[in-house]
Structure 1
Amino acid sequence: MMFQDVVIVIPAYEPDDRLLELLKNIRDKENQMFDIILVDDGSGADFAPLFAIAQSNYACHLQRHADNKGKGRALKTAISYILDNFPNAKGIVTIDSDGQHTYEDMMKCLAEFLQHPDSLVLGVRTFEKSVPLRSKFGNLLTRDVLGAMTGMNVSDTQTGLRVIPMSWLPKLLTVEGERYEFEMNMLLEAKEDNILICEVGIATIYLDENQSSHFDAIRDSIRIYKVFFKYIFSALFSFLVDIVAFTILISLFNGLSFSAVTLASILARAISSVVNFTLNHKVVFKRGQSNSAIKYFTLVVVQIVLSSLLVTVLGNALTTLPISLVKILVDGTLFFVSYFVQKHLIFSGGENEG
């Protein structure tokens, strides 16, 4: 595979001369080696001359949206165009139009992709004191939330410089998100599909305190974090279902023997696990069931055995406590143990190389 087997994708909304500077830099150094897909995401008539220059002077394949649809939709438009017109390409590299990414950093990411052609390569920035506060805070918060919720270790969750394998493009067309949240959902999909994530350090460039960014701190943040809010709701709701079901069942069995607690735990966990798995795949991530179901329910079985044993022992030892409270304490502890197991031992898909 050669560099020219990768197609460049540049989504642009109301760009300035920095887009032309980027294109000039690419063409001056590589001439016509790369095919470039430029998506005008509804910038309007005032920006038509700039896109015309990009098309005529720098041989860009121009795709247009009649109105602004968002970065996610712009990337999907480019992906659809590439699948139809460049079937022999090996991958795409996405790069922002606002001057945050350089030709040199793009080539570093492509060099990494040549070594790992089936991976998702991210050009990651370091967030030092010179980085605008809103950009630094937002990215670090998203990184930590992603790590806490999924166990993924991604240094820069919001980077727009990415190299994506061609074989994965059809799947990305089905990923939810029309705006900036699409890039976050792409990372979640990488974990689900066991796509290796490779990181390449790049320059951290913020021009004019990042004033040219079209990122809406409130609306776009809500879109990005929506999946995490759904995940938390799913976990809490399923936990509540488990406790209520266990309380009802143990009262019907009228006993605290190991067999009674085990049977109540199995039935309660069976109900809550189906609820949790269904919510995660149909509501939270909106994906069909996959091989993750086998891993998930294997872990559930182990948790049921441990929960039953501990609830039986503690329930008979701590007779002054309601059995439901004992169940909450035991399962609350097992929740953190389960999280550690999922993060480090079971769900290893989407891990990254630095």
Structure 2
Amino acid sequence: MMVISRATETAERDIAPTRLPVVVIPAYQPPGNLIGIVAELLHEPYPLIVIVNDGSSIDRSWIFDAVSRMERVVVLSHAVNLGKGQALKTAFNYVLLNAPSTIGVVTVDADGQHLPKDVLRVAEALAETPESLCLGTREFEGGVPLRSRIGNAVTRQVFRFFVGQPLADTQTGLRGIPARFLKKLLRVQATGYEFELEMLILASRTGMNIREISIRTIYEKHNPTSHFNPILDSMKIYFVFIRFVSASLASFFIDTTVFSISLFLTGQIFLSMVVGRVVSGTFNFLSVKVMVFQSRGNILLETVKYISLVVALMLISYGLIKSLVVFGGINPYAAKILAETTLFFASFSIQRSFIFQSDMNRPY
């Protein structure tokens, strides 16, 4: 992937120091009013506005040519469309190299859905708390498209359960991002709309404070300038959450398999549970610590807490299985699946909140 600057003279000029962050605008097939949006943003003392042309067609080149001639504006280009996440990372990389003293960036959508006064409010919030991720939280009132209402409501609830962070708007594109967080974001592999969700997960997991600033959002009828595919892009977004449960599901499969084999050979439910839990617990501890929660906490303390959780849940699970078999007349294999499914959510929440910890300052 090659990134080409369309405003090399601007890129080479000194960037004046200011308390406000750099503005970043990822743009794919933007409407002509992008020119007016940039002109309005330039009324405020932002040190720089970085626009990324994410592989737009040639008929939009006049828009990028127009904004590239404005003061304090740099336009970077992708030869092909690489996705909103990659466009943001391209801009972040440019900012880190060319404006290293900035407090961070404020990201703005190119379709005119963010009012300049709200952009300024989020930018000022970042200036007030430069170590916080500042989100422009939309007011889902009035003529908000149904797909936006439903999509945000579902994602908000799923995010709260899996990540443990209650946020009013998980899909907002107006964000104030601290400078020291940009390097971490460059390492995120996602390149599409799911990148913004990965950003929130990473911020939450690393203990970063997240501020929410109420904003208005202007929607055009039927939202014609949006390039969000409600099916494909939603699947990519929710796949982010699947990563959080994949390790636990794999452990559940290992546990059930070992339990079944041991029960077949010994006929002892409790002994089979112990054998299965030892094997699956070892796998689950290592995979969850490294892959899911990316914990850098004290391994001895986490091991002790994890073993305590495993023992407690095993005893509860044994009680449930025994009750289902004795009083419910259920097959022990089916009882095992029912009991473990019931305890899965409790186990995940406890691991997320009390066992595994992340460190914001961990080395790369």
Q: Under a length normalisation based on structure 2, what TM-score does the superposition of the two structures give? A: 0.81
Cα deviation code 1:304-324 (max 9, x no counterpart): 211343355566675565554
Match of 1:264 among 275, 279, 286: 275
Structure 1 gap segments, 5+ residues each: none
Match of 1:333 among 335, 342, 349: 342
Higher relative contact order (CA 8 A, sep 6+): 1
Q: Is the 8 A contact 1:311 1:326 kept in 2?
A: no
Match of 1:118 in 2: 131
Secondary structure at 2:92 match in 1 = helix
Cα deviation code 1:182-233 (max 9, x no counterpart): 1111112112222221111100211233111111222222221222344444
Identity of aligned residues (%): 35
Match of 2:116 in 1: 103
Cα RMSD between the aligned structures?
3.1
Alignment of 1:145-294 (within 5 A): 145-249=158-262, 255=268, 260=271, 263-264=274-275, 266-274=277-285, 276-277=287-288, 281=291, 290-291=296-297
Match of 1:81 among 94, 99, 103: 94
Secondary structure at 1:146 match in 2 = helix
Match of 2:47 in 1: 34
Cα deviation code 1:90-131 (max 9, x no counterpart): 111111111111121112112322332111111011222521
Q: Is the 8 A contact 2:251 2:280 kept in 1?
A: no
The alpha-carbon distance between structure 1 residues 43 and 346, as it changes in their structure 2 partners (threshold 3 A), is: same
Quick one: which amino acid aligns to residue 267 of structure 1?
A: V
Q: How far apart, CA to CA, are the structure 2 residues paired with 1:162 and 1:294?
A: 38
Q: Is the 8 A contact 1:269 1:304 kept in 2?
A: no
Quick one: which amino acid aligns to residue 162 of structure 2?
A: M
Q: Is the 8 A contact 1:190 1:349 kept in 2?
A: no
* Mean CA deviation greater in 33-42 or 326-335: 326-335
Quick one: which amino acid aligns to residue 30 of structure 2?
A: P
Match of 1:307 in 2: 313
Structure 2 gap segments, 5+ residues each: 1-16, 360-364
The alpha-carbon distance between structure 1 residues 7 and 33, as it changes in their structure 2 partners (threshold 3 A), is: closer
Quick one: which amino acid aligns to residue 41 of structure 2?
A: I
Q: How far apart, CA to CA, are the structure 2 residues paired with 1:215 and 1:295?
A: 44
Match of 1:48 in 2: 61
The alpha-carbon distance between structure 1 residues 307 and 204, as it changes in their structure 2 partners (threshold 3 A), is: same
Q: How far apart, CA to CA, are the structure 2 residues paired with 1:36 and 1:346?
A: 42
Q: How far apart, CA to CA, are the structure 2 residues paired with 1:226 and 1:316?
A: 36
Q: How far apart, CA to CA, are the structure 1 residues paired with 2:47 and 2:333?
A: 64
Q: Is the 8 A contact 2:170 2:197 kept in 1?
A: yes
The alpha-carbon distance between structure 1 residues 340 and 231, as it changes in their structure 2 partners (threshold 3 A), is: closer
Q: Is the 8 A contact 1:121 1:162 kept in 2?
A: yes
* Mean CA deviation greater in 227-236 or 89-98: 227-236
Match of 1:6 in 2: 21
Match of 2:6 in 1: none
Q: How far apart, CA to CA, are the structure 2 residues paired with 1:295 and 1:197?
A: 27
The alpha-carbon distance between structure 1 residues 348 and 152, as it changes in their structure 2 partners (threshold 3 A), is: farther
Q: How far apart, CA to CA, are the structure 1 residues paired with 2:342 and 2:351?
A: 15
* Mean CA deviation greater in 243-252 or 313-322: 313-322
Q: How far apart, CA to CA, are the structure 2 residues paired with 1:328 and 1:227?
A: 25
The alpha-carbon distance between structure 1 residues 137 and 296, as it changes in their structure 2 partners (threshold 3 A), is: farther
Quick one: which amino acid aligns to residue 304 of structure 1?
A: V
Query: How many residues matched?
Result: 340
Q: How far apart, CA to CA, are the structure 1 residues paired with 2:221 and 2:235?
A: 25
Q: How far apart, CA to CA, are the structure 2 residues paired with 1:349 and 1:198?
A: 19
Q: How far apart, CA to CA, are the structure 2 residues paired with 1:152 and 1:231?
A: 14
Match of 2:70 in 1: 57
The alpha-carbon distance between structure 1 residues 237 and 61, as it changes in their structure 2 partners (threshold 3 A), is: same
Is the aligned partner of 1:24 residue 2:39?
A: yes
Q: Is the 8 A contact 2:138 2:215 kept in 1?
A: yes
Q: How far apart, CA to CA, are the structure 2 residues paired with 1:276 and 1:239?
A: 13
